[in-house]
Amino acid sequence: MPVITVPYAFNEEELYVDLRSIFGHSLFLKCEGFNFAGSIKLKAATEMVEAAERDGILTPESVLVESSSGNLGVALSVIAASKGYRFLCVTDSRCNLSTRLTMEALGSQVHIVARQEANGGFLGARINYVRTLCASDERYVWLSQYTNPSNWKAHCRKTAPEIARQFPGLDVLFIGAGTTGTLMGCARYFRTWHRPVRIIALDSVGSVAFGGAPGRRMIPGLGMSIRPPLLDESYVDEVIRVEEADTIRTCHRLARHGFLFGGSTGTVVSGAMGWLAEHDARDLTAVAIAPDLGDRYLDTIYQANWLQDLYGEDVLNSRDVASGSWAAQTAPPTGSDLRTGDGNGNRRHQLQDRKT
């Protein structure tokens, strides 16, 4: 049995759920939420903190500060509490209440940005606040998950090899895109692997990570209001954009079968199932990464009033949730970078000129 002395020393690495019985297509879902931070962000947080300690950037007098929509903030709160650092998380109004309360319970401070920047949205406002804070006091140390190479290195060293050990015949890997740390780390690892692996990124409609017009996004986790500095599209074969309504329906469908996952996982699974439905996937080994669990979304994705206020009374239809045969509720694709629909309300495109 594992015996640990610090919370970041444990992470379940080998748990997968085969979703065939729920969706009709075989997809092995790598569950990353079973650790003391509740999400995959514990890996990146640990890597970034330890790199800063090795480089002498972090000292006992330092105050960690980071911009986060939630999960990385919790992960850094866990580590800061364990190591004795002070930590300030800069978030915005979309941060789930339970996430904020978790950070505060761990001893962290939380600052909520109320206004969006004209061009950078809430993320731009959060980053500007962090920069101003760091300029005012040299004790503040910003790890900058958006630009820090330790973000993707954590997944190149840990997440991707974990998948490779369990699935030596892997054909397709579905990865959600936020800061793109998980995406870039896994993609770099499998680029030099013994067999080709198709890397498919899942993004939220309204995100500008891969181009396109910004739009309303109410579910924290995936998606960006700026282009991710870590992103190198040459490592990505396809991008699938998922409507938030489809994220919600997928989360509820999983929950009806006893699997309570978070919004990021719902987005990944929705897009992956659409792709598998369009392809002859009978002989493919497909894996998707589930970044989070659903307990922090109980007051949003799983709360009827919140859903109806933001998405209308018909966002959940009991027949559709049970069967999974929901109709697409999306506007027609617009612009050269919005792609062919995949049958689940998702939008897809294939990236060309991938580096060899």
Q: CB within 8 A of 354, min separation 6: which ones?
A: 234, 235, 236, 237
pLDDT of residue 8: 96
Give the C-alpha separation, 166 to 285, whole Å. 11
User: Smallest Cα–Cα separation from 273: which of 19, 17, 30, 16?
Assistant: 19
For residues 294, 104, 153, 176, the Cα torsion angle rounded to the nearest 10 degrees is: 30
- Per-residue confidence (pLDDT) for residue 225, from 0 to 100: 86
**Hey, what are 349's tokens?**
């495109």
How are beta strands 28-31 and 16-18 bridged, if at all? antiparallel
Q: pLDDT confidence of 213, banded at 50, 70, 90?
A: confident
Amino acid letter, residue 27: L
d(CA 325, CA 323): 5
Is the distance from CB of 43 to CB of 68 less than 8 angstroms?
no
Lowest mean pLDDT among 51-60, 88-97, 186-195: 88-97
Round to the nearest angstrom and report the end-to-end CA distance of the chain: 43
Strands 198-204, 340-341: pairing kind:
unpaired
Mean pLDDT of all residues in 52-75: 95
| pLDDT at position 330 | 30
Host H or E run for residue 311: helix 304-311
pLDDT in tens, 135-144: 999 999 999 9
Mean pLDDT computed over 200-229:
91
- What CATH number is given for 41-142 in this structure? 3.40.50.1100
From the list 185, 118, 175, the residue with the least C-alpha distance to 150 is: 185
Give the 3-state secondary structure of residue 92. Answer: strand
Mean pLDDT value across residues 195-223: 92
Rounded Cα distance, 190 and 41, in Å: 20
Q: What is the pLDDT of residues 157-190, one digit of tens each?
A: 999 999 999 999 999 999 999 999 999 999 999 9
Helix (H, G, I), strand (E, B), or coil: what is residue 227?
coil
Give the model's confidence band at 96: pLDDT under 50 very low, under 70 low, under 90 confident, else very high. confident
The first and second tokens of residue 209, run together, are 């990570």
**Phi, psi angles (nearest 5°) of residue 99:** -65, -45
Strand bridging mode 140-142 / 63-67: parallel
**CATH 3.40.50.1100 boundaries in the chain:** 7-34+159-321, 41-142
- Residue 343 above 80 pLDDT? no
The answer to whether residue 327 scores a pLDDT higher than 50 is no
Contact 262, 297 (CB under 8 A): yes
Residue 329's pLDDT band, with cuts at 50, 70 and 90, is very low
Q: How far apart are CA 134 and CA 63, in angstroms?
A: 10
Fold of 7-34+159-321: Rossmann fold (3.40.50)
